[in-house]
Structure 1
Amino acid sequence: MEENRRVAVLHWYDDVDDLAQTVTRALTELGYRPFVAHYTSEALEGAHFLFTYAPWGRLQRVAAQLAKTPPQKRPFWVHWSTEDCPDIRLPGWVTVPVGRTLAWLDRWQEAEGLQGRLAHTAPLRWVNRRFHKFRYVGIYHHALNAGLMGLLVEYSKVYADYYNRAGIPARYAQWGLLDNSHRGDLRLERDIDVLWIGTRRTKRRSRLLDKVMGELAAYGKRVLIVDGSGGPVYGEARTLLLNRAKIMLNLLPTWYDSALAYRWPLAAANRALLVTEDSLPHAPEFLPGEHYVAAPASQLTPTILDYLEHPEKREPIVERAYQTVIHGHSIVDSVRQIMHWAEQGRQAVRQAMHPAHNVHQPVHTFTIPYFDVDKNRY
Structure 2
Amino acid sequence: MKDRVQAADHKRAITFCYRGFTANFGTRHMVASILEQAGHDVEQIKDGPADFSADSVVWIWGNTNWYPGLYAQLAAMPRAQRPLVVLWHTEPLPLPRAAGLPWPRLNWWETAKFVLRDSNATDVYTNYLVLRRWLKQGIPDVLVAATLGRCGFLSERGIAADWVPLGYESSYGRDLGLSREIDVLFLGAQDVPRRNRLLRGLRKKGIQIEAVGSYVDPSCWGEERTKLLNRTKILLNLARTPGEFPDLRLILGMANKALVLSEPIYQPDPFVAGRHFVSSSIGEMPETIRYYLAHETERVVISERAHRLITQDLTMEGSVRRILDLISMRANQRAVVDRPYEASAP
Common fold, TM-score beyond 0.5? yes
* 1:4-49 Cα shifts (integer Å, max 9, x gaps): 4111012326987478521111112333221112312232247611
SS of equivalent to 1:140: helix
Name the CA distance, whole Å, in 1 between partners of 2:282 and 2:54. Answer: 51
Task: Tell me which residue corresponds to 1:27.
Answer: 35
Q: Could you tell me which amino acid in structure 1 is paired with residue 243 of structure 2?
A: Y
- For residue 215 of structure 1, what is the aligned residue in structure 2? 205
**What does residue 15 of structure 2 align with?**
8
Change (3 A) 1:280 1:65: same
Assess if the C-alpha contact under 8 Å between 1:12 and 1:39 holds in 2: yes
Report the Cα offset of residue 347 of structure 1.
1.2
Map of 2:322 onto structure 1: 337
- Map 1:112-131 to 2 at 5 A: 126-129=115-118
Q: What is the RMSD of the two structures over their aligned residues, measured on CA atoms?
A: 3.1
Aligned to 1:361: none
Greater relative CO, 1 or 2 (CA 8 Å, sep 6+): 2
Equivalent residue for 1:82, pick from 84, 90, 98: 90
Number of the residue aligned with 1:270: 256
- Map 1:1-378 to 2 at 5 A: 4-12=11-19, 17=25, 21-45=29-53, 48-55=56-63, 57-86=65-94, 88-89=96-97, 126-129=115-118, 133-182=124-173, 184-217=174-207, 223-228=209-214, 231=217, 233-259=220-246, 261-281=247-267, 283-353=268-338, 367-368=342-343, 372=346
The answer on whether the counterparts of 1:348 and 1:365 sit within 8 Å (CA) in structure 2 is no
Q: In the TM superposition, what is the alpha-carbon distance from 1:155 to its structure 2 partner?
A: 1.1
Q: In structure 2, what is the Cα distance between the partners aligned to 1:172 and 1:326?
A: 19
- 1:243 offset after TM fit, Å? 0.5
> CA offset at residue 314 of structure 1?
1.1
CA displacement at 1:207 relative to structure 2: 1.1
Secondary structure of residue in 2 paired with 1:189? coil
Instruction: Check 1:350–1:64 CA distance in 2 against 1; reply closer, same or farther (3 A cut).
Output: farther
Give the Cα–Cα distance (whole angstroms) in 2 for the partners of residues 143 and 229 of structure 1: 27
Overall identity of the aligned pairs, in %: 25
Which sections of structure 2, spanning at least 5 residues, go unmatched?
Answer: 1-6, 104-111
The Cα shift of 1:366 comes to 5.7
Number of residue pairs aligned between Structure 1 and Structure 2? 324
Inter-CA distance 304–160: structure 2 relative to 1 (3 Å threshold)? same
TM-superposed deviation, 1:346 = 1.4
CA, structure 1 residues 20+138, in 2 after alignment: closer, same or farther (shift >3 Å)?
farther
Could you tell me the TM-score, scaled by structure 1's length?
Answer: 0.76
Conserved? CA contact 1:273–1:292, under 8 Å: yes
The alpha-carbon deviation at position 272 of structure 1 amounts to: 0.6
Q: Distance in 1 between matches of 2:114 and 2:289?
A: 46
- The 1:57–1:19 alpha-carbon spacing in structure 2 relative to 1, beyond 3 Å, is farther
CA distance in 1, matches of 2:147, 2:301: 26
C-alpha distance in structure 1 between counterparts of 2:319 and 2:271, whole Å: 15
Which AA in structure 2 matches 1:236?
E
Task: Please give the alpha-carbon distance, in whole angstroms, between the structure 2 residues aligned to 1:83 and 1:35.
Answer: 22
**Is 1:141–1:168's contact at 8 Å kept on the other side of the alignment?**
no
* 8 Å contact kept, 1:88–1:256: no
Counterpart secondary structure, 1:79: strand
Q: Residue 10 of structure 1 contacts residue 20 of structure 1 at CA under 8 Å; is this kept in 2?
A: no
8 Å CA contact 2:14–2:43 kept in 1: the answer is: yes
Q: Which has the higher helix share?
A: 1
Tell whether the 8 Å contact from 1:291 to 1:318 is kept in structure 2 after alignment: yes
Separation (CA, whole Å) in 2 of partners of 1:318 and 1:302: 19
The alpha-carbon deviation at position 296 of structure 1 amounts to 0.6
Q: Structure 2 CA distance, aligned partners of 1:318 and 1:257?
A: 21
Deviation at 1:230, TM superposition (A): 8.7
> Could you give the per-residue CA deviations for residues 127-184 of structure 1, whole angstroms, max 9, x where no partner exists?
42379643432433343343331011111110111101111111111111233111x3
Residues 237 and 260 of structure 2 are in contact (CA less than 8 Å); yes or no, is this contact kept in structure 1?
A: yes
* CA 1:19–1:47: 2 relative to 1, 3 Å: farther
What is the aligned partner in structure 2 of residue 103 from structure 1?
none
How many angstroms does 1:242 deviate by? 0.7
